[in-house]
Chains A and B, each alone.
Chain A
Amino acid sequence: MPNPVLQVENLVKRYEEVEAVRGVSFSVEEGEVFGLLGPNGAGKTSTVEVLEGLRIPDGGRISVCGLDPQKSPNELKNEIGATLQATSLPDKLRVSEAIGLFAGFYRRTRNPNELLKRFGLEEKRHNFYNQLSGGQKQRLALAMALVNDPRVLFLDEPTAGLDPQVRHEIYGIIEELKGQRKTILLTTHYIEEAERLCDRVAIIDHGKVIALGTPRELKQRSGSNARIEVRLARPASNGTLNNLESVKDVREVDGTYVLHCHRTAPAIVALVKHLETDNNELVSLEIATPSLEDVFIELTGRRLRD
């Protein structure tokens, strides 16, 4: 089995009294897009910045491309690319100068002009950094993160603060990178981003991983929130639906029965059988699968954006 590109075991990071990361573990394989999903202040950025070598861990073991970020920082920096939160470039630096300058720092480089073209910045190449829009700045940040053709890419909240249209543009870029089998670790507090882009997701809250898996696995595991919404030809007698296999609880809303169930498949089979014996008919049936948001609420009792 190949060694994972990123390996994090029991990572701890403290800031004075605050323990921002409390024993986080996960690993990321080559070519995988791995997401750290959690609310602001959950410890996502701290985790990523320790992996980038920007912060010193207080405990645990980490390895990035087989390197210890603290022991071989320069080796590491040649292997990784990253976009940061809360970063900037000098106002009077031109786009082409910025990417050319950073290209000069690395052993292995990609052609800066091609990167600018690919990220749609060719026409802006002579513009100063402070003349760019938020989306253009983020595209430049992504282009700059790729300038050393990194083995692994860290994207810390790549779409935070961008408007929806620009956000989808960035999603497109990340999907393209994913198609090229780039290893990517991205942090986000947008559910949509995690579901759409990530092969696997670790949900982080208060410095701990509270769930880890593919978005599908996570949603399936959270059975309690799966809902079946059915409309019937005749009203069902009260209580009968409640006794069906797997069904936890039934509510009627405007003639629609909402069945909350542990697992959807056995519940549907049981429902259909019951309707047959009851001489009732199914008018419509919808399965509402839980979103990662539901998973998060279930695990923490809070909404992600609170």
Chain B
Amino acid sequence: MKTILTLAAVRIRITLRNKTFLFFSLIMPMVFFFLYGSVFAKGNPQAVAYLMGPVMSLTVMGTFWGLSMQLVTWREQGILRRFRLAPISPSTMIASSVLANYALILPTIALELALARFIYHVATFGNMLSLLVLVVLGITSFGAMGLVVASVTNTMQETQIINQLLWFALIFLSGATVPLSVLPSIVQRIGLFLPATYLVSGLQRAMLFRQNVLSLGVEIASLLAWAALAFFISTQLFRWEPEAKLPRSAKLWAVSTVLPFVLLGIWENHNGKLLATAASMLSDRPVENAHPPDRPQ
């Protein structure tokens, strides 16, 4: 445990010295925040409250970029080899990176909430405990997803490509940019297979309807299951050496990470109320037609 903490502390410092990281974890979320708050919500407190779910989701989801890129770079440059000489395990390396991520992302989330209160006068954040649980689970699970991506890719370029594909699917089909209910119904149904959809919807319901952790059970349980599975798979597929061969089964394992959300997606498509809730939240808190912002390069 001590090792994980020491390693996490050093990783936080290294990351803070990295300009790319500052861009993705602080500047980009702030751009989203002000774009959503001032342009789409026109500063209307209720509309801002509605959009805080998407804004926080984008901040949380961004974590998978940093983690996957760092792991791949460290492997490519032979940094992991040096760590491997010391008595530390893959799970220590992975746990420390997720832990470092909390320390790096939670302040940004806090800043977003503070700005929402003081600039846009959002009166309430709903159920704070639910928000915290969802944000922490989101950081864990999207971070773990980044580590799974890093374990099946070999170079920075490959990682970038996969990250872009995932990022676009996650932000456009989940309600994080365009509200779910304005999307064609087939796209909405595809969205039900994405973890991001449950994160956005959970955060919005916690904020707008003050839903507690129990009533957000499905969202929380599925993110938890996903985080655990992705974490487990990333420790199994962890490679210290750039030339280490990827077993043929590895990509299958990596893909199996989607299992919790395939099951949840099927269930939601048949029985769920998520789409109806999303529609009612949008109509209760009307927002101007939102044009989706692209991820800056």
Contacts and interface: CB of A to CB of B under 8 A. Distances in A.
A60 to B, nearest CB: 21
Contacts of A52: 85
A50 to B, nearest CB: 13
Contacts of A128: 17
B119 to A, nearest CB: 33
Interface stretch (B3-11, B218-226, B248-256): B3-11
A100 to B, nearest CB: 8
B289 interface: no
A161 to B, nearest CB: 14
Nearest to A86: B78
Contact of B3 (A86, A92, A105): A105
B291 interface: no
B14 A90 contact: yes
Interface of A: 52, 54, 73-74, 77-78, 80, 82, 84, 86-90, 92-93, 97, 101-102, 104-106, 128, 144
A104 B79 contact: no
Contacts of A74: 87
Nearest to B88: A105
Interface in B50-84: 74, 77-79, 81-82, 84
Contacts of B78: 84, 86-88
* A52, A86, A144: residue with the most chain B Cβ atoms closer than 10 Å: A86
A248 B13 CA distance: 68
B81 A105 contact: no
A89 B79 contact: yes
Contacts of A97: 10, 13
B10 A101 contact: yes
Interface in B1-48: 2-3, 6-7, 10, 13-14, 17-18
A80 B87 CA distance: 10
Nearest to B84: A54
A89 B81 CA distance: 10
Contact of A88 (B18, B82, B87, B240): B82
B88 A92 contact: no
A52 B241 CA distance: 14
Given A86-B78, A90-B74, A102 B86 contact: yes
Contacts of A90: 14, 74, 79
Contacts of A106: 86-87
A104 B87 CA distance: 10
Contacts of B88: 105
A77 B3 CA distance: 15
A105 B87 contact: yes
B118 to A, nearest CB: 33
Interface residues of B, number: 22
Interface in B208-263: 240-241
Given A97-B10, A105-B87, A88 B3 contact: no
Contact of A104 (B6, B14, B241): B6
Contacts of A54: 81, 84-85, 240-241
A89 B2 CA distance: 21
30 contacts: A54-B81, A54-B84, A73-B87, A74-B87, A80-B85, A82-B85, A84-B81, A84-B82, A84-B85, A86-B78, A87-B78, A89-B79, A90-B14, A90-B74, A90-B79, A92-B14, A92-B17, A93-B10, A93-B14, A97-B10, A97-B13, A101-B6, A101-B7, A101-B10, A102-B86, A104-B2, A104-B3, A105-B88, A106-B87, A128-B17
A77 B6 contact: no
Contacts of B7: 101
Contacts of B13: 92, 97
Given A87-B82, A88-B82, A89-B79, 10 more contacts: A54-B81, A73-B87, A77-B87, A78-B87, A87-B79, A88-B78, A90-B79, A105-B88, A106-B86, A128-B17
Contacts of B241: 54
B179 to A, nearest CB: 40
A78 B88 CA distance: 10
Nearest to B11: A90
Contacts of A73: 87
Contact of B77 (A77, A88, A101): A88
B10 A89 contact: no
A86 B78 CA distance: 6
A213 B112 CA distance: 69
A76 to B, nearest CB: 8
B94 to A, nearest CB: 16
Nearest to A16: B245
A267 B243 CA distance: 54
Contacts of B240: 54
A77 B78 CA distance: 18
A87 to B, nearest CB: 4
Return the 10 tightest CB-CB contacts between A and B, nearest first. A92-B17, A77-B87, A105-B86, A74-B87, A104-B6, A87-B78, A88-B77, A87-B82, A88-B78, A86-B78
Nearest to B86: A105
A82 B6 CA distance: 21
A247 to B, nearest CB: 52
A101 B79 CA distance: 14
B87 A86 contact: no
Given A74-B87, A92-B17, A97-B13, A86 B81 contact: yes
Nearest to A92: B17
A135 to B, nearest CB: 18
B82 A89 contact: yes
Contacts of B6: 101, 104
